[in-house]
Amino acid sequence: MQKSQDGLELPNRTLTFDQIDCEVSIEEVVGGFVPTPRFSHVSFESYRPDPKQPSQASTLQRLREYVSGIQAERGERGGLLGFLKKKTPVAIKGLYLDGGYGVGKTHLLASAYLEAPAPKAYLSFQELAYAIGAKGMAPAIEAFKPYRLICVDEFELDDVGNTMLAKTFIRGVMEGGNTHILTTSNTLPSELGQGRFNADDFKREIGIIAQSFESIRLEGEDYRHRAYGENVLSEGIYASDSAALHNAYTHYMPLKSSKLYTTFDELLKHLAAHHPIRYSRLLVPLEVVFIEGLAPFHEQIDALRFVHFIDKLYDQRVKLAVSARCTLPDLFLPEYRDKGYAKKYRRCLSRLHELISEGI
């Protein structure tokens, strides 16, 4: 603990990984069920549909209807004449939002959550899989059944086990007849090019319950490119050299919590030493992370850990500054980048792009 001139204890504003306790309970991981800090203030109003992409305005409209349908089901229209108004029950209980990266799926999902009547839950597919694993299937279904709306971000069908899990879970909670499920999934640019979306895979995988899902395709370009331009991806622009990075770190005055400086190698070692479920906890005391010397990942396992770390950093709105020995897209080698986990890598690059553009 640092001391001020008059002897008062000051919070430690500079931390190293070893000083952060990242033990985490299951309750902490699955608890909350609310949008992450990055998406806790979004709304339908702040979503700006691209006039060149008609599916954006129509999706926004459809989601608004969906949420007011849920409100109406409960007779929450209110007002003296509320009971005279014709109720519009939501025939469709499930809605599946499919599209490329950065078109605003998570933004819309969180907006729908925030507008919907309680009780409601918001979580990522990974958290859902973790919650089911930790609680057991039957108790998880019981725990989620009372929710009017469950929002699940980034539905992943690339893992057979998780797909089975999700299928059983969805069938179980929907049997109650009270629960709506709104979910998103990312489509790879190569698939978009072929006019392919995930929706077909999703419907096939969830089989019998598919008819209670409507799927919507959200078209458009990555909003991060609209907002920040493409140039951040080109060499040198995003990456300061290590001396400049260290200098920025030295002069950075944290406002709320602490700052952390790490070399790329030290970061990888630390990530390898902890279960990924703890990465969130690792970031809690931090407002900014400086990473020196990003370089291509030779081992896919390191790359995947890093992807998870960046997901958490992004969700928790921790700021990021880096120096790098390669361009952003070259961080992940073609050997594994375009294979089974291609979606994770695309998402990570899109998020890194946004984080680095936002600056510190």
Ligand X SMILES: Nc1ncnc2c1ncn2[C@@H]1O[C@H](COP(=O)(O)OP(=O)(O)O)[C@@H](O)[C@H]1O
**Which residue ranges make up the site for ligand X (CB under 6 A)?**
42, 46-49, 99, 101-107, 223-224
- The binder of 93, among ligand X, Mg ion, none, by C-beta within 5 to 8 A per type, is none
Residue closer to Mg ion by CB (options 59, 106) is 106
Here the tokens at position 325 are 């020995």
Three-state SS sequence of the chain: CEECCCCCEECCCEECHHHCCCCCCHHHHHCCCCCCHHHCCCCCCCCCCCCCCHHHHHHHHHHHHHHHHHHHHCCCCCCCCHHHCCCCCCCCCEEEEEECCCCCHHHHHHHHHHHCCCCEEEEEHHHHHHHHHHHCHHHHHHHHCCCCEEEEECCCCCCHHHHHHHHHHHHHHHHCCCCEEEEEEECCHHHHHCCCCCHHHHHHHHHHHHHHEEEEEECCCCHHHHHHCCHHHCCCCCCECHHHHHHHHHHCCCCCCEEEEEEHHHHHHHHHCCCHHHHHHHHCCEEEEEEEEECCECCHHHHHHHHHHHHHHHHCCCEEEEEECCCHHHHECHHHHCCCCHHHHHHHHHHHHHHHHHCC
Residue closer to ligand X by CB (options 49, 172) is 49
- The binder of 48, among Mg ion, ligand X, none, by C-beta within 5 to 8 A per type, is ligand X
The amino acid at 339:
K
Find the shortest distance in angstroms from Cβ 265 to ligand X: 30
Closest residue to ligand X, Cβ-based? 104
For 239, phi then psi, to 5°, come to -110, 115
The amino acid at 143:
A
Residue closer to Mg ion by CB (options 105, 224) is 105
- The binder of 101, among Mg ion, ligand X, none, by C-beta within 5 to 8 A per type, is ligand X
Find the shortest distance in angstroms from Cβ 37 to ligand X: 12
Find the shortest distance in angstroms from Cβ 20 to ligand X: 27
- The binder of 35, among Mg ion, ligand X, none, by C-beta within 5 to 8 A per type, is none
Find the shortest distance in angstroms from Cβ 219 to ligand X: 11
Find the shortest distance in angstroms from Cβ 194 to ligand X: 19
| 316 vs 311: CA distance, rounded Å | 9
Residue closer to ligand X by CB (options 216, 267) is 216
Residue closer to ligand X by CB (options 120, 347) is 347
Residue closer to ligand X by CB (options 53, 300) is 53
Find the shortest distance in angstroms from Cβ 318 to ligand X: 15
- The binder of 47, among Mg ion, ligand X, none, by C-beta within 5 to 8 A per type, is ligand X
Q: In the complex, which residues of this chain contact Mg ion (CB under 5 A)?
A: 105-106
- The binder of 102, among ligand X, Mg ion, none, by C-beta within 5 to 8 A per type, is ligand X
- The binder of 217, among ligand X, Mg ion, none, by C-beta within 5 to 8 A per type, is none
Residue closer to Mg ion by CB (options 110, 324) is 110
Residue closer to Mg ion by CB (options 162, 183) is 183
Find the shortest distance in angstroms from Cβ 215 to ligand X: 15
Find the shortest distance in angstroms from Cβ 186 to ligand X: 6
